[in-house]
Amino acid sequence: MTGQARRPFVRLEELLLRHGAITQEQLQKAKEEQQKWGGDLGRLFVELGYVSEELLLRATAHQMGTKFMDPANEQLDPELVRLLTSQLCEQFGVIAVAGDPKKKVLRVATSDPQNQEVLAHLGRHTGFTIELYVATSASIHAAIRRHYYGEGPPGPVVHDTAPRGVPATGAASAAAAAGPSAPAPAPAPALPPTAGVGSAELEALEKRVARLEQYLGSLRQDLAHQISTDPQLAGLAARLENLEQVSTSDVGSLRAVVELLLEHGVFKLDDLKAKVKTVRERSGPGSGSP
């Protein structure tokens, strides 16, 4: 049995540094933690909050020359999935995502692609040549629950994109607050049509929203593929990840700096408002307000 045994041409930390995902200071801190407690350096980046698991695994996939994917949002072949038992999938954190049974090749998504024990065990169990793809543990777990236990929605798993500090709304918020063991909330009573808006208009609006959701889902998958195959785009995604990790206290500090500049007469409030308006107009409609 042979698997994907390509030797990395560049260390993971060098790849993350090259694309601005981590700083030299963060790398040094992670190495100090590794010397104290041991463990994988890449996972330490995640534990220290420097990068997300997804970003780390995208870099790992690029480093190994393999594919990053999202099995929770992929249409998987049930026959291929069932080539592995649910016990194997849960034990090793994997799921079959592609392959060719006639050629005895099975491609398996894992969040630990450098674990050769997994590769060897699956090969012995199935008699197939195992090729590894990379995916987050959350995506793999969601795919296992869906394909083996019938849990979860039939459509794509929607990842939480709400800004930090902004609570979810509606039934989704109630379900999240209740937890997995709590009974499902009762459905909200149907609301009467808005005054002046007929059922035909509402139906047309629902269709437009559905088309937009479908388009955004397709766009998200295309972007994920581009990020996984284009190192420059992956670097931009890494920088965006760092920007998204700015905490509320950092935003408060920035506000304090602006107020201090106003107090010292560096610029006037009216000038600041005019500048913000100009930037928003340049950005086009839909830029929103603070």
pLDDT at 262: 76
pLDDT at 253: 59
Phi, psi (rounded to 5 degrees) for 271: -65, -40
What is the side-by-side strand order in the sheet with 129-134? 94-100, 105-110, 129-134
pLDDT at 81: 94
Mean pLDDT of 54-71: 92
pTM tops 0.85, yes or no: no
Residue 69, amino acid: M
Residue 209, amino acid: V
Between CA 1 and CA 131 the distance in angstroms is 10
Residue 25, amino acid: E
- Domains of the chain, by residue range, sit at 248-290
Q: How confident is the model at residue 187 (pLDDT cuts 50, 70, 90)?
A: very low
Mean pLDDT of 44-66: 92
User: Higher pLDDT residue, 180 or 231?
Assistant: 231
Taking the alpha carbons at both ends of the chain, their separation in whole angstroms is 57
- Mean residue pLDDT of the chain comes to 73
The size of the chain, in residues, is 290
pLDDT at 282: 61
Report which DSSP code applies to 109.
E
Percentage of the chain with pLDDT > 70? 57
